[in-house]
Structure 1
């Protein structure tokens, strides 16, 4: 079958190991099923895999991709949940120490078909296209869990989203506005600040700028470059939810004194559960919210989309289609 896969890994030149070609049809263990992929979105995880982060050399060749939307074996439109937990695990699968994502230990979604546990297949909302639905399982699910599970926010609360432009950040802006929060966003890029206003931010600021109010929560994916600003932008008792550190994980100032003296909470967040993905899909349907897509690219041209992610030249999600 057609597939886009990592044949080798290179930390400095990640695309050197990318192959667009043919791979065997997926093996389907007991309790698993196959999904015919119509759309799959690109995540930073795919670039990290090509760099050799989180992907073992003995697992090569590995089909890339975590997210997908397509048809199940009965012809139903479905979304694929990317978190693969141990079959015996009970409860929040993101807390399973043996969990993995598609394209780590199991072949990924940049292919004609992908095999997944039956419980990892979620109905697709009728109001979303395949490309839009393919944006949900990683970036949008991460943003949903950050806002609605980890942050303890109520309608009318103020939230700051750092680094407007990335998939999680744009999802957080859109979801937060749809949920009735007051949304502030930052970016170094003037065009990204303008576009953040278009998708729902009430006000936008240059990175590091002082906000007009102290916010109830911060959605942090940038890391070292914005950490101090995130902490200083919160009210006493506020919550900082972090799900990534694209600028590094060693800020120059940890702000520990401010965190404990003002009784702030720092909450880590990773992906989301199958149930949260179902609730996210329902939220999208009820509110009429749609994911922001930067570009739809034929899966054969996956290298083009991956290069744009590497360059940071993205606002929203890049989706590969078949």
Structure 2
């Protein structure tokens, strides 16, 4: 079985194709023949060693995949499933997953499309829920052209929110308009909520854009960790009763994850949400896929086809 390994932290060049051990499904597990897997920012962060001490260099990357079950409980044999793999390992031809970590993919949705939604759509889905946004509310989505951004925008529109997209790229703005975005950030609009997969040094300026009782949900650090003093902008505006929270899928129960994924797939089949794929690479082209993700030019999801 082919898999992608790294023996040290570093740039994309540390990712190599290697032979992995034969996998077997245990009790309440399935063995999945992987057809596609997602390439995400968390993979880049782990690969580059930004989580030293927490994740070993020998860690197998990839937290989401789609494929067909080839071993396990009879009910699942032959079914096409999406896999959320908290412990990684999806950059491979096969992966073992617990039955509570899989969701059946409906007919008519390809493996690549399932992964293009996948983790990104789940993050957007639960960010909106955590933000307690209601139809008619104004939501600003930072990093609008990224994988999380394009799914969060579509889910916001489906929820009846007025969406303002933040993207400095004219090319990405044109593409965002094609998925329904009508307004773009001009650094002036006040908003009810902000969905932020970017964070970074400029976060304080965005906090200042929230209306009274506004909600700010940070679900990623594509722009780096925010400065420690950013919390002062919240304290200084305490009279507006602002709320800030952080969103990690690791804090959400497995049943809720599966239910949300089923809901997202339903929306895709109803053509209310569209999987947005930036580029598809072969498994052996994983280094190029990581370079693409790090380029900042990505619109949607980068995918490895197995």
**TM-score interval, smaller chain:** 0.7 to 0.9
Whole-angstrom distance in 2 between the partners of 1:49 and 1:247: 15
Contact conserved, 1:81 with 1:274, CA < 8 A, in 2?
A: no
Query: Map of 1:52-63 to 2, 5 A cutoff?
Result: 52-54=49-51, 59=56, 61-63=58-60
Equivalent position to 2:242, from 264, 287, 301: 264
Deviations 1:239-269 (A, max 9, x none): 1111112223234643123542101111211
Equivalent position to 1:155, from 117, 131, 135: 135
Aligned to 1:198: 178
Counterpart check, 1:139 vs 2:111: no
Gap change, CA 1:259 and 1:5, over 3 Å in 2: farther
Whole-angstrom distance in 1 between the partners of 2:290 and 2:51: 17
Gap change, CA 1:226 and 1:220, over 3 Å in 2: farther
Deviations 1:65-89 (A, max 9, x none): 111111113111111123xxxxxxx
Query: Which has the higher mean CA deviation after the structures are superposed, 304-313 or 280-289?
Result: 280-289
Pairwise CA distance, 1:60? 5.0
Contact conserved, 1:220 with 1:230, CA < 8 A, in 2?
A: no
Aligned to 2:199: 223
TM-score, normalising length: structure 2: 0.88
Pairwise CA distance, 1:8? 1.8
Counterpart check, 1:113 vs 2:98: no
Whole-angstrom distance in 1 between the partners of 2:55 and 2:264: 35
Structure 2 alignment gaps of length 5 or more: 71-76
State the secondary structure of the residue aligned to 1:127: coil
Whole-angstrom distance in 1 between the partners of 2:63 and 2:203: 28
Contact conserved, 2:234 with 2:242, CA < 8 A, in 1?
A: no
Query: Map of 1:162-201 to 2, 5 A cutoff?
Result: 162-201=142-181
Pairwise CA distance, 1:293? 0.5
Counterpart check, 1:127 vs 2:108: yes
Deviations 1:70-121 (A, max 9, x none): 1113111111123xxxxxxxxxxxxxxxxxx232xxxx11111101111111
Equivalent position to 1:284, from 268, 271, 279: 268
Counterpart check, 1:16 vs 2:13: yes
Gap change, CA 1:136 and 1:257, over 3 Å in 2: same
State the secondary structure of the residue aligned to 2:166: strand
Gap change, CA 1:287 and 1:179, over 3 Å in 2: farther
| Structure 1: 4+ residue segments shifted above 6 A | none
Contact conserved, 2:12 with 2:288, CA < 8 A, in 1?
A: no
CA RMSD, 1 decimal: 2.1
Structure 1 alignment gaps of length 5 or more: 83-100
